[in-house]
Structure 1
Amino acid sequence: MTLTSPFLLAIVAITVLALIGQPIGLAMLVGSIFYLVLAGADLGTVAEQFLNGMYSNFVILAVPLFILAAELMNSGSLTERLLRFCNALVGRFRGGLAQVNVLQSVIFAGMSGSAIADAAGSGKMMQHMMTKDGRYPPSFAAALTAASAVIGPIIPPSIPMVLYALVSDASIGFLFLGGVVPGIMMGAAQSAIIATTARRRKFPVEPPVPLRQIPRITWDSLPALMMPVVLMVGIYGGVTTPTEAAAVAACYALVISVLLYRSISLRSLYASLLTSARTTASIGMLIAGALVFNYVVTIENIPDSIRVLLTDWNLNQIGFLIFVNVLLLVLGCVLEGTAILLVIVPVFIPTAQALGIDMVHFGVVVVVNTMLGLITPPYGMLLFIVGKTSGAPLRHIVRDTMPFLIAMLAVLVLITFVPDLVLWLPRLLGYQG
């Protein structure tokens, strides 16, 4: 590959466009078209790859439907009821509100599949509750909200896992199951950090909810708590595909909010649809750019070249996983997670398969990696989101995020080297990998 090769010039074009602030999806589209022009290829290929990728894959439809389900939950009162339920369970302990933040993320993970939806919805409410009357420093509340939101796309359902399934042909259902244990481990690790920090920094103890009120609060929250059950029974009972389950989730959230809780108006419904459409369009542009750029990568035979290079290094499974983990963690500091899943990860899939690495295990490791990138400086999209809502200086948020990030990195190491932590539950329900 020379300095004037079409592929290298296309990479330069993508990098320059991204650095000047253009959306990465648009940058990949422009760079790919630039490559095809320089290589003398048919420009109609761009449209062909876009149409084949976007309209021939039923899996992609799950993305906007899960986004809509999360928006409807935020517009209705489902999220608030879940917060009251979590507070009744763990709010009575020292640092209880911080523990509520983690628990609601674990529960809300079963609803939206999106870290950003968690941080922008229930996470925003948690920040307000934690900082009210100066109970917690704004930087700690923001850091915890960002860190706990990372759990969302690891416990099913998960939009990043849907995208990984798109590029790897792995089973979405078993990927969802593979994320349960790692997600719970991450929640437990964050709770342990909170318990230690709460004693050292003397965080407040919230007034305990009387035990006689817990049954009523639980009953009030039960319809919202049943959503993950409805999703999992539908998928693993063979009643629905994951995409159909996403449609059921959106419909369930709408019906519960309108008919049972009567907490959503036509105005808020329209706002939810509009926000979902904008988010979907943004992700759709990224998917379109990635599909076309992946075609360029295939033409250049990059996956095979990398496979040969890694073979020359004589890497075994462990060495390869260490290499991928380190690379993705570094890339996560500067790239958006969806771009990594759609552009970088497909390059490594042939090598992983050749080394006999299970695609479900590899997928969960990759998704955890990309989610950690959301709270890793300097890019850390979630850090910017919670920083905007909290008003705390970014450096203080980064400082308070570090203990949580280190704890989650420890979980990543465990699931990388002990695949059974990921594969135990899928195998229990019939996975043959």
Structure 2
Amino acid sequence: MIPDSPFSLALVAIIGLSLLGLPIGLGMITGSIIYLALSGQDMSIAAEQVLNGLNGSYILLAVPLFIFSAGLMNAGSMTDRLLRFCNMLVGRFRGGLGHVNVVQSVIFAGMSGSAIADAAGSGRMIIDMMKRGGAYPASYAAAITAATAVIGPIIPPSIPMVLYALISDSSIGYLFLGGVVPGLLMGVAQMGINTWMAHRHDFPVAERVPLRELPRLTWDALPSLLMPVILLGGIYGGVMTPTEAAAVAAAYAFLVATLLYRSISAPQLYSTVLDSARSTAAIGMLIAGALAFNYVVTSENIPTTVRNLLAGYELSRWEFLLAVNVILLVLGCLLEGSTILLVVVPVLIPTAQALGVDMVHLGVVVVVNIMIGLITPPYGLLLFIVAKLADAPLSAVVRDMMPFILAMVLALAAITFIPDLVLWLPRQFGYQG
């Protein structure tokens, strides 16, 4: 790469503006405009790429709708009732509240599609429950909350999978199905670590919920438990597309919170709409920047260059997947996940296709890598969120996080090198990959 070439100067502009605090999406748009100006192309191409990419992607409508539905569940009492139900199921074992944390994340994953929504919503409540009376160290409560929150975008629905479908032209439905078994595997791995830590540190056994409470708690949580059934049943029963399912999720959460539970006030609803709009705008700006910058990357013929470079090493499919894992895990320590997904992954897709890597399998591997990046220092966004929620030192949270990261990396290895863990369920619904 020539130091004073338009592409090099565009990269310098993006990195420099990001370091100065400009959102990465705006940085990529600015860098793309600089590239177009210096290379003698029409600068309006940047706007054209953004408009064509956003207006032609019906799939992207799912993103704000899933964000809004997660906000409604956290603002209302759906999450609180779900926590009480999970406590009834697994709270009776040693380290029970840790198991509750994992189970509620697995169930919540079927409703929100967002790790941050899980950590910031139900995570706040479960951290307070674990810290109460000094039962669990604040740092451990924060660590397991962050670790379990990453399950959210692996088990469907999943906002990162929606974005991956956008850049790879893969089926969202099959991507969603492909994430089910890996997400459950991650949950089992985390419960295993929690069991080991509970016995090692003699964490308490929570007070058992009487069996006579079982019907009442189940009935209270039933509307929340039905949402994943309605969504996934509608998608795979052919009744609705994933985007339509996102609209149904938002409408269902709204009706349950306002009419059934009557647990959300007008000011709370307004605040939820406002927060959802802000989150959607942030993601939309990032997507817009990626669309503009991907034109620059394509103009420089970088995907072909990378494919030819990797072909020179004569990598097998498995060696390529191993290299992808290493690259994404390292980048996850330094970059925001959506940036990796929208800028880096498109460069790797042509090589993956040339090597015969299944796009659904690759998509799930990519999303798992990006989720692990959310809890790896120094950048891991979830680490900062849960440390603040738990009022715990970041260094202590990172220390307690390490066993969970190790477990998730081992689960990632299994998902990578045993493709049937991803592809078995999609194939039961007709996937030919």
CA distance in 1, matches of 2:56, 2:244: 16
Cα distance in structure 1, aligned partners of 2:206 and 2:20: 47
1:178 equivalent to 2:178? Answer yes
Partner of 2:404: 404
Distance 1:325 1:33 in 2: 32
Q: What is the aligned partner in structure 2 of residue 226 from structure 1?
A: 226
For 1:18-417, what aligned pairs fall within 5 Å after superposition?
A: 18-417=18-417
Amino acid at match of 2:230: V
CA distance in 1, matches of 2:154, 2:210: 33
Instruction: Measure the CA separation in 2 of the matches of 1:102 and 1:349.
Output: 32
Alpha-carbon separation, structure 1, partners of 2:393 and 2:86: 29
Cα distance in 2 for partners of 1:122, 1:61 equals 25
What secondary structure, in the 3-state scheme, does the structure 2 residue paired with 1:94 have? coil
**What is the Cα deviation at residue 216 of structure 1?**
1.4
Distance 1:21 1:425 in 2: 43
Q: Which runs of 5+ in 2 are unaligned?
A: none
Q: Give the distance between the partners of 1:379 and 1:182, measured in 2 at CA.
A: 24
SS at match of 1:112: coil
Alpha-carbon shift at residue 189 of structure 1 (Å): 0.4
- Check if 1:9 corresponds to 2:30: no
SS of structure 1 residue aligned to 2:374: helix
Offset of 1:391 from its aligned partner? 1.4
Amino acid at match of 2:328: L
**What do the CA deviations read for 1:324-350 (whole angstroms, capped 9, x no partner)?**
110000000010000111000000101
Q: How many residues align?
A: 433
Shift of residue 21, structure 1, vs aligned partner: 2.1
Which digits, 9 at most, give the CA deviation of each residue in 1:158-196, with x for residues without a partner?
000000000000000000000000000000000000111
Shift of 1:132: 1.2
CA displacement 1:361-393 (0-9 Å, x = unmatched): 000000000010000100000001111111111
Taking the aligned partners of 2:70 and 2:120, their CA distance within structure 1 comes to 10
**Separation of aligned partners in 1, 2:159 and 2:150:** 12
* Post-superposition offset of 1:13: 1.1
- d(CA) in 1 for partners of 2:416 and 2:97? 31
Instruction: Give the AA of the match of 1:202.
Output: D
Distance 2:194 2:24 in 1: 36
Identity of aligned residues (%): 68
Letter in 1 for 2:259: L
Alignment partners' CA distance in 1, 2:125 and 2:311: 50
SS at the partner of 1:375?
coil
Please state whether the residue corresponding to 1:378 is helix, strand or coil: coil
CA–CA distance in 2 between the matches of 1:330 and 1:89? 37
TM-score by length of 1: 0.99
Shift of 1:12: 1.2
State the 1:46 CA deviation: 1.0
Structure 1 residue 395, shift from structure 2 partner: 0.6
**How far apart, in 2, do the equivalents of 1:284 and 1:92 lie?**
43
Q: 1:81-119: CA deviations, max 9, x gaps?
A: 100100000001111111100100000000100000000
Q: Which amino acid aligns with 1:407?
A: A
Q: Secondary structure at the match of 2:239?
A: coil
Distance 1:293 1:361 in 2: 26
Q: CA deviation at 1:20?
A: 2.2
Q: TM-score, normalised to structure 2's length? A: 0.99
User: How many angstroms apart in 2 are the aligned matches of 1:389 and 1:220?
Assistant: 27
How far apart are the structure 1 equivalents of 2:215 and 2:195?
Answer: 26
Return the alpha-carbon distance in structure 2 between the equivalents of residues 124 and 143 of structure 1: 12
Q: CA separation in 1, counterparts of 2:388 and 2:288?
A: 29
Is the deviation greater in 31-40 or in 274-283?
A: 31-40
Q: Could you tell me how far apart the structure 1 residues matched to 2:425 and 2:203 are? A: 36
Measure the CA separation in 1 of the matches of 2:24 and 2:134.
39
Alpha-carbon distance between aligned partners in 2 of 1:149 and 1:224, rounded to the nearest angstrom:
17
CA distance in 2, matches of 1:393, 1:257: 35
Q: For residue 110 of structure 2, give the secondary structure of its aligned residue in structure 1.
A: helix
Post-superposition CA distance 1:382-419 (Å, at most 9, x none):
00111111111111000000000000000000010000
1:2 Cα deviation from its structure 2 partner: 1.3
What is the DSSP-based 3-state SS (H/G/I as helix, E as strand, rest coil) of the residue aligned with 2:293?
A: helix
CA distance in 2, matches of 1:199, 1:420: 33
Separation in 1 of the partners of 2:179 and 2:239?
Answer: 21
